[in-house]
Structure 1
Amino acid sequence: MPERYMLNFDTRNLPQEEDEYIILGSGIAGLYTSLAASQAGGSVTVLTKQTMMDTGTDKAQGGIAAALGDTDSPALHREDTLVAGAGLCDAEAVNALVSEGPDRVRELIKLGAIFDCDNEGLCLTREGAHSRRRILHASGDATGAEIQRVLTKRVLEDDRVKVLENHYVVDLLVRENVCYGVLAYDRLARTLKVFRGKVVVLATGGVGRLFEHNTNPEIATGDGVAIAFRAGAEVMDMEFIQFHPTVLNLPGAPRFLITEAVRGEGAYLRNSRGQRFMPRYHDLAELAPRDVVVRAILKEMAETGSNKVYLDLTHLDPEVIKARFPNITRTCAEYNLDITVVPIPVAPAAHYMMGGVKTNLVGETSIKGLYACGEVACPGVHGANRLASNSLLEGLVFGGRIVEETRRFLKDYRLRYPEFACDWLLEPVKMDFASLRKELEVLMGQKVGPVRSGAGLKEALEFFDRWSFLSRHQVEGVEEMEVKNMLQVGELVAEAALARRESRGGHYRVDYPDTHRRWQKHIIFRR
């Protein structure tokens, strides 16, 4: 069927490479899985869409959550995660995350990650919906960059791991529900290549670039979900998109995440009239779950006729703020904003996808040989709303579980690799994909954003129906392939959001504002 592949190809006419593990993505999930596989004796090829550093991990500010404090425990971390997840977390997956997480973080430290410390040991901070201070951070507010640095360094030193940058994965090669590898496009040579592997791991990140206002790097266009869905894998919880409450909203400045740790250190949210408002919405005030804070901000913006609220640190010690948040301080200063003197103008923006490619507790998808971890995956850890700073931890824990599972059978696993070809001749199409992408981003923000309605979601699905004919056409460049993937994933998000006739976690419907017990279940799609 024409929707199966994006390009015309025949593997018999293409260069082919083979490795035990083919890992797609170079953030924390992809690189940690690569190192774990190598240490277990496996050989690995990592394919990255751009460079190794173009990842969501590198941009992560707040930190990584783990029960390492004297007054903390995995049981407390588990309870906080389940509460934030609004009834849709998989309890076994959460148990794995919180119980194995501390050892994975200690392993990261052994690899060379340098987290902030004081005389008593690790500096732990608190973020929204956490009952304890359990967030490790590095260089104040550059945690992701430190993790990216150490994992990149270790991978590049590892002879068993080969990294190929600027290799865009076009499609998975699947037959009779077995994944045999991937079709990739070498962006520099402008040629197609085949990478065959016994294990293919999706670690491609999120979908934030579907939305006009987002905190994600430009690579986050949902490619992993799209290629998995086209290949027949199950996807789950696609309606649950987390919008970060506090993203810099200054004319002329890019959307820049202001980490939740700022509120964890005592910052207040004020509306355009200067009034602190969060205590009126939740007992935890500024540290309420993210979905609660987002809707409170949107309500205050509507009532005051403003497109922003303000994050106020001016009552805090200026020197402490500068030391704790040097990256935020420096970035705001570039736009003539001294955060120790003037509140930061902020507004919500798309940040994280709770749903994704459905996996079991060892990262296996519904397709044999295809695994997933990190933001692209949905093992059920986050439920309807991710607990702050659990995302980096998820990449470590489930990346490690994938390797533990696959090493049990891989040495004795023999594959006879079949050849693949596109069975239908996809006709080329000429059109303005850049304009289509912009139209899609605006539509997603307006109709499939943090506040949704049945009427708006139906409008979104009508938009996707109008462009469905593109699945029968071949496109030439990566930018055009990205748009096709974004259309596919955007439709999945909108369709799931229309189907869920309630409000829960990151999904809010003005026409179904309450949470219902009968909707305490998952929406799973399969092509």
Structure 2
Amino acid sequence: MNKYEVIVIGSGIAALTIANCLYKNKNVILYTKSNKLTSNSYKAQGGVAAAMEKEDTWEEHFLDTLTAGVFHNDVHHTELLTKNAIRYLTQLINDGMEFDQDQSGRLRLGREGGLMKRRILHSGGDATGKNLMDFMFRNVQDKLTIVENEMVIDLIVQNDQCIGIVTKAVHGEIRQYFAPFTIIATGGAGQIYKFTSNVETITGDGIAMAYRAGAVLADMEFMQFHPTILYKNGEILGLVSEAVRGEGGFLQNSRGERFMEHVHELKDLAPRDIVARAIYQQLHKGYDVFLNITQVKNFDNPSEKFCKSISYY
């Protein structure tokens, strides 16, 4: 029987990143309650932000990130993120991860809300999450154990120390596994909301397990959200990538008004919280909100002039 030193709960980019960092020195096992490809990370359309251009700096990226976070950010962690993003993404590229390039071989960088410059790397257009996850799985597939369709339902705590996990297997069996270290990388809790583009497995159980075990939770009022999703007759049909607005798409209400022009200096590329509130205010006034894509080049379905959108959390 293998003795595992680190248990990782989850199978998204966070889980794979930590597993990739640890497998050389630790025996790692990863548990996921569905199949390994069922995650928000795998379905992520948007790209990855880093100041990769010579004309850009991590300091500018840092300031944009603080501004988008209304300066509630943890300054130290935000600095680590924006400063190290350049090195980390460069290493990914050197390791073989392919991001979109122009005809001259230069990274094709996009722009999204809250950014003053183009610094979004995409892979396969809107398939960045899928391509990055596939790449990361290839890197770790023979270097750690991945257990699918077995849900971690609780942490085993002894003397204020997590020593293992309790799982529920596919046929209902309750099992226990032990390891010196356990890492929770289960994502958020998007499914507690009526409207969300989160996959069905994102139910907040990792957060609940941590809380029951005595972990201190912070900033619980903040949830990852996206201002625009495709919405029809009360149903969510999918996310409309923020990159669409980065390439010229714009919001307008059912009166044809481009309301973001009067809300923020970045207009439709304002930070997400500002865009979401502006959309909500339009809906509250009784207007429908649409995303006009007529100015976006090479859109897959240019005959569809408008995409109805709403804010969601």
Q: Please give the range of the TM-score, normalised by the shorter of the 2 chains.
A: over 0.9
State the Cα distance separating 1:111 from its structure 2 match: 3.7
Tell me the residue number matched to 2:21: 36
Checking the alignment, whether the CA contact within 8 Å between 2:49 and 2:120 is kept in structure 1 is yes
Which residue of 212, 220, 245 corresponds with 1:238? 220
Q: Rate the CA distance shift 1:85–1:346 in 2: closer, same or farther, 3 A.
A: same
Checking the alignment, whether the CA contact within 8 Å between 2:229 and 2:236 is kept in structure 1 is no
Amino acid aligned to 1:163 = I
Counterpart Cα distance in 1 of 2:208 and 2:235: 31
Aligned-partner SS, 1:19: coil
Checking the alignment, whether the CA contact within 8 Å between 1:17 and 1:194 is kept in structure 2 is no
State the Cα distance separating 1:299 from its structure 2 match: 1.1
Q: Which has the higher contact order (CA 8 A, sep 6+)?
A: 1
Which residue of 253, 258, 278 corresponds with 2:240? 258
TM-score (norm 2): 0.95
Checking the alignment, whether the CA contact within 8 Å between 1:313 and 1:340 is kept in structure 2 is no
Is 2:84 the counterpart of 1:100?
Answer: yes
Where does 1:416-427 land on structure 2 (aligned, <5 Å)?
Answer: none
Aligned-partner SS, 2:238: coil
Which residue of 250, 274, 294 corresponds with 2:276? 294
Is 2:156 the counterpart of 1:173?
Answer: yes
State the Cα distance separating 1:209 from its structure 2 match: 0.4
Q: Rate the CA distance shift 1:242–1:150 in 2: closer, same or farther, 3 A.
A: closer
Counterpart Cα distance in 1 of 2:266 and 2:110: 16
Amino acid aligned to 2:225 = F
Tell me the residue number matched to 2:30: 46
Tell me the residue number matched to 1:228: 210
Tell me the residue number matched to 1:348: 311
Tell me the residue number matched to 1:483: none
Tell me the residue number matched to 2:98: 114
State the Cα distance separating 1:107 from its structure 2 match: 2.5
Counterpart Cα distance in 2 of 1:103 and 1:348: 34
Tell me the residue number matched to 1:406: none
Aligned-partner SS, 1:209: helix
Where does 1:160-239 land on structure 2 (aligned, <5 Å)?
Answer: 161-188=144-171, 190-239=172-221
Counterpart Cα distance in 2 of 1:342 and 1:279: 20
Q: Rate the CA distance shift 1:128–1:340 in 2: closer, same or farther, 3 A.
A: farther
Aligned-partner SS, 1:344: strand
Counterpart Cα distance in 2 of 1:45 and 1:202: 12
Counterpart Cα distance in 1 of 2:302 and 2:277: 24
Checking the alignment, whether the CA contact within 8 Å between 1:17 and 1:196 is kept in structure 2 is no
State the Cα distance separating 1:156 from its structure 2 match: 1.5
Checking the alignment, whether the CA contact within 8 Å between 1:46 and 1:164 is kept in structure 2 is yes
State the Cα distance separating 1:120 from its structure 2 match: 4.3
Aligned-partner SS, 1:152: helix
Counterpart Cα distance in 1 of 2:12 and 2:193: 21
Q: Rate the CA distance shift 1:74–1:340 in 2: closer, same or farther, 3 A.
A: farther
Which residue of 45, 68, 71 corresponds with 1:87? 71
Aligned-partner SS, 1:122: coil
Checking the alignment, whether the CA contact within 8 Å between 1:52 and 1:152 is kept in structure 2 is no
State the Cα distance separating 1:132 from its structure 2 match: 1.2
Amino acid aligned to 1:171 = D
State the Cα distance separating 1:49 from its structure 2 match: 0.9
Checking the alignment, whether the CA contact within 8 Å between 1:242 and 1:291 is kept in structure 2 is no
Q: Rate the CA distance shift 1:113–1:253 in 2: closer, same or farther, 3 A.
A: farther
Counterpart Cα distance in 2 of 1:175 and 1:107: 39
Checking the alignment, whether the CA contact within 8 Å between 1:58 and 1:145 is kept in structure 2 is yes
Aligned-partner SS, 2:225: strand
Counterpart Cα distance in 2 of 1:253 and 1:340: 22
Deviations along 1:419-447, whole A, 9 cap, x unmatched? xxxxxxxxxxxxxxxxxxxxxxxxxxxxx
Tell me the residue number matched to 2:134: 149
State the Cα distance separating 1:252 from its structure 2 match: 7.7
Q: Rate the CA distance shift 1:340–1:105 in 2: closer, same or farther, 3 A.
A: farther
Which residue of 51, 55, 58 corresponds with 2:42? 58
State the Cα distance separating 1:348 from its structure 2 match: 1.0
Aligned-partner SS, 1:348: strand
Name the structure with the higher helix share.
1
Checking the alignment, whether the CA contact within 8 Å between 1:24 and 1:30 is kept in structure 2 is yes
State the Cα distance separating 1:235 from its structure 2 match: 0.2
Number of aligned residues: 312
Q: Rate the CA distance shift 1:240–1:286 in 2: closer, same or farther, 3 A.
A: same
State the Cα distance separating 1:339 from its structure 2 match: 4.0
Checking the alignment, whether the CA contact within 8 Å between 1:18 and 1:195 is kept in structure 2 is no
Q: Rate the CA distance shift 1:97–1:270 in 2: closer, same or farther, 3 A.
A: same
Which residue of 246, 255, 262 corresponds with 1:280? 262
Counterpart Cα distance in 1 of 2:2 and 2:150: 13
Q: Rate the CA distance shift 1:138–1:253 in 2: closer, same or farther, 3 A.
A: farther
Amino acid aligned to 2:305 = V
Counterpart Cα distance in 2 of 1:316 and 1:156: 38
Checking the alignment, whether the CA contact within 8 Å between 1:213 and 1:255 is kept in structure 2 is no
State the Cα distance separating 1:26 from its structure 2 match: 0.8
Amino acid aligned to 1:146 = N
Q: CA RMSD in A?
A: 1.6
Aligned sequence identity (%): 38
- Structure 2: which 5+ residue stretches go unaligned? none
State the Cα distance separating 1:243 from its structure 2 match: 3.3
Is 2:274 the counterpart of 1:311?
Answer: no
TM-score (norm 1): 0.57
State the Cα distance separating 1:193 from its structure 2 match: 1.6
Aligned-partner SS, 1:256: strand
State the Cα distance separating 1:17 from its structure 2 match: 6.8
Amino acid aligned to 2:187 = G
State the Cα distance separating 1:226 from its structure 2 match: 0.2
Counterpart Cα distance in 1 of 2:96 and 2:183: 25
Checking the alignment, whether the CA contact within 8 Å between 2:291 and 2:309 is kept in structure 1 is yes
Q: Rate the CA distance shift 1:279–1:252 in 2: closer, same or farther, 3 A.
A: closer
Deviations along 1:107-147, whole A, 9 cap, x unmatched? 32234322111114111111111111110001111110111
